[in-house]
Amino acid sequence: MASLGTILRYPDDIYPLLKMKRAIENAEKQIPPEPHWGFCYSMLHKVSRSFSLVIQQLNTELRNAVCVFYLVLRALDTVEDDTSIPTDEKVPILIAFHQHIYNTDWHYSCGTKEYKVLMDQFHHVAAAFLELEKGYQEAIEEITRRMGAGMAKFICQEVETVDDYDEYCHYVAGLVGLGLSKLFLAAGTEVLTPDWEQISNSMGLFLQKTNIIRDYLEDINEIPKSRMFWPRDIWGKYADKLEDLKYEENSTKSVQCLNEMVTNALMHIEDCLKYMAALSDPSIFRFCAIPQIMAIGTLALCYNNIQLFRGVVKLRRGLTAKVIDRTKTMADVYGAFYDFSCMLKTKVDKNDPNSSKTLNQLEAVQKLCRDTGVLQNRKSYVNDKGQPNNVFIVMVVILLAIVFAYLRGNRVME
């Protein structure tokens, strides 16, 4: 749950937060009894509670396939992210990873915490994979093979150009978008549009670029070796070394670099909206739409925000709960993208070197959303100012006083 101070400032977060808490508890209670499936869903809850909640929207067969797909790629990503593994050992593992998903005896010890458990007990994931329908298996194997090869390529080279950046993001996330589209097709619930590869790729790139921007400080402080995904073509305009952006004396240049990174990510929004508008199954739509709204919200929060170079920047939990609770139709998506783009637009400094490009991108998004004609008669849950409700605060204080008095009375009696 959120902190008391945040709840007092945003009292209408409480109901969505309680609903999300209940949904997470229900999801954890519905873990399958079979050991391999039980491991997969338990691990999913541990590595990503929000994803494990969203995945519950899907029917059982597709949910199982997406769960396995996610864990396979998480395991692959754990190998890539572990900077303690020597390159000559890591590269062959990445390239051959698609073969290991057929082997229930294979495991490789790396990563930390829950990711180490995933790797040590990967045989459960392989066992679950082998129970999937062949169409799902083929899609997962192909994407794992292509992703592993792409990761191996960028282990041996840095992200220098913007084209490199797009290529890297394609390997680690665009392929996820393509893979999910193939799983939806295999499930018989969606059809592929002629441009499905491009817009599926954009869905992944938009999410990945948001994560790369948000995780700058965590990646640059990685031990024993920094992880650097921001392209030199962008950060080289503002600093001699990428790690220089985290130092206070470079704050102005750091924020300008950050703003250019955000502007680069905004270019994928039109494709993302096109992809989501083409979805017909309501459960798949929600599964795809919720992370995309979270991404545009995160970019709005990160833009022009020096705190990204000082600590963690993320949406408050109550707003996350609202997105999960209220995203049901494409009108909700257009509304959220419009609101978050408006929020981001208010933060644009005309003196920023990329301000014109940023404003053009945002105005294009706003026009696209307005032209749908669905923005009227809706309640915005994004641009809430977070003003305290005095009556609510008084009620909370009284309730806390009663609870405190009760507990104190019990202590005296003891």
Q: Which of 214, 286, 316, 317 is catalytic?
A: 214
Q: How many of the other CB atoms lie within 10 Å of CB of 390?
A: 8
In the structure encoding, which two tokens stand for residue 196, read together?
């499905």
Burial 7-27 (b: 16+ CB within 10 A, else e): bbbbbbbeebbeebeebbeeb
Q: Which of 69, 168, 309, 337 is catalytic?
A: 168
* Residue 74 annotated in active site: no
* Residue 168 annotated in active site: yes
Terminal-residue alpha carbon distance, the chain = 31
Q: What are phi and psi of 132, to 5 degrees?
A: -75, 155
* Residue 381 annotated in active site: no
Q: Which of 227, 232, 326, 378 is catalytic?
A: 227
* Residue 70 annotated in active site: no
Write the DSSP string, 261-314: HHHHHHTTHHHHHHHHHT---HHHHHHHHHHHHHHHHHHHHHTT-GGGGTS---
Cβ proximity of 42 and 31 under 8 Å: yes
Q: Which of 70, 238, 287, 334 is catalytic?
A: 287
Q: What are phi and psi of 4, to 5 degrees?
A: -60, -40
- For tokens 């900077």, name the residue: 83
User: Which residues are identified as catalytic?
Assistant: 168, 214, 227, 287
